[in-house]
Amino acid sequence: MATDTEQNSEKLTFRAYQDGKHQWEDWQDAIFSADHSHKCPTYVHRTPPCQGSCPSGEDVRGWLQIVKGVEKPPVGMDWEEYAFQRSTDANPFPAMMGRVCPAPCEDGCNRNDVEDYVGINSIEQFIGDTAFEKKYRFSSSLPATGEKKVAIVGGGPAGLTAAYQLRRKGYGSVIFDDHAELGGMMRYGIPGYRTPRPHLDHEIQRILAMGDIEVRTGIKVGTDISVATLDNDFDAVLWTIGCQTGRALPVPGSDAPNCVSGVKFLEAFNQGILKVTADRVVCVGGGDTSIDVVSVARRLGKIKNINKSHRPEAVIGGYVAHDSAYVALREGADVTLTSLFPREQMTATEEEVDDALHEGVDIKYGVIPLEVIKNEEGRAIALRMAECRFENDGRPVPVEGSEFDIECDLIVSAIGQGGNLEGLEEFDNGRGLMDADKFYQHTERKGHFVAGDIIRPHLLTTAIGQASIASDSIDQFLRDFEPSKRPKVDVRHFNLLDKLRESALEPEGYDHQQEWGTCDANFAIHNYEDRSAHEVIPSEKLFLGHFAFTPRNKRGSRGPGKEEVLSHFEERHVGLTPEVARKEADRCMSCGMCFECDNCVIYCPVDAVFRVKKDQSTLGRYVDTDYSKCIGCHICSDVCPTGYIEMGMGE
């Protein structure tokens, strides 16, 4: 967690010494032996923690380097498109993820040890919005062979990502989805003021425009079409059906008709059939879904004396739809959110909780539901709660004597989700989910693969990352290869050889002549080591003293207050301008990769470290070392802000 601004304005954020350490080591005996060096620098590429924390495996540092202007685009391409290409190599939805991803990358950011994380989400939104405005497109990379075809069951973030990645490998696919439109949770589970539909539609159509991706909507596999038909018509099947059912409250009385799931509540709203809620709404949860529920409920409001047949539960159950005339009759609703945990332990992001409070939601922390109180008609009229404590084994239990009732007209359960496996019972692992191995192959059905929430409900970005790995596994299966071992740090990595090729600096062919000692032959990349697939670089390996206190450039917000929230469906986030996006990207510390600060060149006492000639220079090859001059003094390594220099040459 970042320290607050006031504290950082009063004292330095970098300490040269650990607690209890008061003396600088004497390196002389360790470094020098007579007249030769003990160790000399080599340049080591490692993965930064932002990438290591990203479930979809984005090359975060890479596209931040492009936005800040360190990594230059190829000739004829603007930097915005180059950043878009790098970003979407792993994740084809930058406009969506930049808005709704809870950003574990920002939690991992090493800049938190200086003052505050880099606003990665806001810059990703900028990349996605720029791509929307300039109508960037994907190239399919490889022509579709037409020989192998993949069935993708589910058109949400995982299914669409798989179609995208498979198309890049040369495979066509058919997407089956039981809804009228593609998008899955991004369309039906998240309100449109968080995932604006024009941007979502553009990001989906950009994938379909790659060609040889067929879409069949309104079809539920298992009932409308059999699994046997898929097995017969396709060479592989990928299951990305998500979790479309919500868990009921595990308390007596939760079978009341006006007790509904958060999943179905949001789906009815996003389909446009739920236009008002109830006078008093209680949502039990604490995660992002529950925040969306209460946020929507405050926006929809209530109407007095609503016809019984148009109560919210009737609409959510799919029996009727609200007439648009109801919109004009809306009044504010009382909305309460309850959470088992105190605020700091809620799984919802801090920003989302702040927004809900600002919009007038009453949040009760550390409470547990006990019973749904019903009236003579069998409808819920109150939810009995109690204060909550946790046993040593982690079980939540009520505190005796702390019971209280929350009067309500609608109860929404947002405590978990499960899959809809009607007609697919053979795939049910007993928990309403599907099993998959580490390569996202189904554990019992050869040629079947699984990705996304149907394995275990988690983040959208997790589903996207799983779909990318599944597409690799499908590719290997269709080519009769055994699945290859995944790297320890399983993300998209910067590749120096690819960068040299892009810059027309590719090494020459090996002449098969023997070389001795320090070699300047151009058939290899010298004194460079790539450990990115194995190591994530911690802040302890950086020289944090290089980075001055620089406040984060935050994107704006137009979230309504409790008086303005009714019928307010404008987007919350105000995107960054190009100038501010570049300014914020400039705060990236480029952990594990040179960003051309010149410290090593300036501080080398014997001029052993030098800049590579401009016509031979590119990202990752900005500096080199003359080992005939190097005395192994370690200064270059000590002053390298990014931890890119390792004293590794020599004994």
Same-domain status, 527 and 651: yes
Residue 20 lies in a domain: no
Same-domain status, 293 and 361: yes
d(CA 360, CA 346): 18
Q: What pTM, to 2 d.p., does this model score?
A: 0.91
pLDDT tens across 331-350, in order?
999 999 999 999 999 999 89
d(CA 650, CA 267): 63
Q: Percentage of the chain surpassing pLDDT 90?
A: 77
Residue at which a domain ends, from 396, 417, 438: 417
Shortest CA distance to 149 belongs to which of 231, 71, 218?
231
- Residues 187, 181: contact at Cβ < 8 Å? yes
Q: What is the DSSP letter of 447?
A: T
- Sequence-distant (6+) residues with CB within 8 A of 597 are 546, 641
For residue 618, pLDDT over 60 is answered with yes
For residue 198, pLDDT over 70 is answered with yes
Same-domain status, 559 and 543: no
DSSP string over 592-612: TS-----HHHHH-TTS-EEEP
Same-domain status, 435 and 386: no
For residue 571, pLDDT over 80 is answered with yes
Same-domain status, 612 and 503: yes
- Residue 1 confidence (pLDDT): 39
SS3 letters across 126-138? HHHHHHHHHCCCC
- Residue 572 confidence (pLDDT): 87
pLDDT tens across 308-328, in order?
889 999 999 888 989 888 888
Residue 3 lies in a domain: no
Could you list the residue range(s) of the whole structural domain that residue 170 is in? 149-244+419-478
For residue 231, pLDDT over 60 is answered with yes
| Number of domains the chain is built from | 4
Strand partners, 374: 380
User: Mean pLDDT of all residues in the chain?
Assistant: 90
Label residue 35 by pLDDT band (50, 70, 90).
very low
Higher pLDDT, 1 or 522: 522
Q: What does the pLDDT average to over 499-514?
A: 75
Q: What does the pLDDT average to over 622-643?
A: 91
Amino acid at 8: N
- Residues 379, 369: contact at Cβ < 8 Å? no
In the block, tokens 């609703």 appear at 333
- Residue 422 confidence (pLDDT): 94
Label residue 520 by pLDDT band (50, 70, 90).
low
Q: What does the pLDDT average to over 349-377?
A: 95
- Residue 29 confidence (pLDDT): 54
Residue 19 lies in a domain: no
CATH of the domain at 368: 3.50.50.60
Dihedral (Cα; 16, 20, 26, 31), 10-degree rounding: -70
Label residue 5 by pLDDT band (50, 70, 90).
very low
Shortest CA distance to 166 belongs to which of 182, 148, 184, 183?
148
Same-domain status, 363 and 412: yes
- Residue 23 confidence (pLDDT): 61
- Residue 324 confidence (pLDDT): 83
Residue 378 lies in a domain: yes
- Residue 570 confidence (pLDDT): 93
pLDDT tens across 282-304, in order?
999 999 999 999 999 999 999 98
Residue 8 lies in a domain: no
Shortest CA distance to 295 belongs to which of 287, 306, 303?
287
pLDDT tens across 201-210, in order?
999 999 999 9
Same-domain status, 80 and 93: yes
Label residue 253 by pLDDT band (50, 70, 90).
very high
Same-domain status, 424 and 411: no
Q: Which of 26-40, 79-93, 152-166 has the lowest mean pLDDT?
A: 26-40
- Residue 32 confidence (pLDDT): 47
- Residue 305 confidence (pLDDT): 84
For residue 26, pLDDT over 80 is answered with no
Same-domain status, 446 and 304: no
Alpha helices in 505-630 (DSSP H): 578-585, 599-603
pLDDT tens across 432-466, in order?
999 999 999 999 999 999 999 999 999 999 999 99
Q: Percentage of the chain surpassing pLDDT 70?
A: 90
Q: What does the pLDDT average to over 67-81?
A: 94
Q: What does the pLDDT average to over 56-83?
A: 95
Residue 11 lies in a domain: no
644 exposed, middle or buried (CB, 10 Å; 0-12, 13-18, 19+)? buried
d(CA 596, CA 43): 13
Q: What does the pLDDT average to over 551-559?
A: 91
Strand partners, 356: none
E strand or H helix that includes residue 282? strand 280-285
Q: What does the pLDDT average to over 165-171?
A: 95
For residue 12, pLDDT over 70 is answered with no
Higher pLDDT, 505 or 414: 414
Same-domain status, 277 and 407: yes
Q: What does the pLDDT average to over 366-395?
A: 96
Neighbours of 15 (CB within 10 A): 11
Residue 614 lies in a domain: yes
Residue at which a domain ends, from 400, 417, 434: 417
d(CA 498, CA 275): 52
Dihedral (Cα; 577, 579, 581, 584), 10-degree rounding: -140
Residue at which a domain ends, from 399, 417, 435: 417
Higher pLDDT, 451 or 351: 451
Label residue 267 by pLDDT band (50, 70, 90).
very high
E strand or H helix that includes residue 163? helix 157-168
- Residue 328 confidence (pLDDT): 84
CA-CA distances (angstroms) from residue 44 to 227, 523, 566, 603, 613? 49, 19, 55, 19, 20
E strand or H helix that includes residue 231? helix 227-233
Residue 483 lies in a domain: no
- Residue 15 confidence (pLDDT): 53
Label residue 649 by pLDDT band (50, 70, 90).
low
Half-sphere exposure of residue 138: CA atoms within 13 angstroms, side-chain side: 30
- Residue 156 confidence (pLDDT): 98
Same-domain status, 381 and 394: yes
Same-domain status, 282 and 393: yes
- Residues 592, 543: contact at Cβ < 8 Å? no
- Residue 18 confidence (pLDDT): 57
